[in-house]
Amino acid sequence: MQSMFPSLIFWYVFPLVVIFLMRLLVSLSSLDRRFSIKTPDLAVPFLLFGIHRLSFLIFKESLFPYLVITLSLLGIGIAFFQAYFYEEIEFPRFFKMYWRSVFLFALVVHVSLIVLSLILLSVS
Averaged over 118-122, what is the pLDDT?
A: 86
The answer to whether residue 2 scores a pLDDT higher than 70 is no
Total-model pTM:
0.88
The answer to whether residue 1 scores a pLDDT higher than 60 is no
What one-character-per-residue DSSP string does 26-65 give? HHHHTHHHHT---HHHHHHHHHHHHHHHHHHHHHSS--HH
Averaged over 101-121, what is the pLDDT?
A: 93
**Cα distance from N-terminal residue to C-terminal residue, the chain:** 8
pLDDT digits (tens, 9 = 90+) for 47-97: 999 999 999 988 899 999 999 999 999 999 999 999 999 999 999 999 999
The predicted pLDDT at position 9 comes to: 87
Q: Residues 89, 90, 94, 95: what is their CA dihedral angle, to the nearest 10 degrees?
A: 140
Distance CA 114, CA 66 (A): 18
The predicted pLDDT at position 101 comes to: 96
The predicted pLDDT at position 4 comes to: 64
pLDDT digits (tens, 9 = 90+) for 6-57: 788 888 999 999 999 999 999 999 888 888 889 999 999 999 999 999 999 8
Specify whether the CB–CB gap between 62 and 52 falls below 8 A.
Answer: yes
The answer to whether residue 5 scores a pLDDT higher than 80 is no
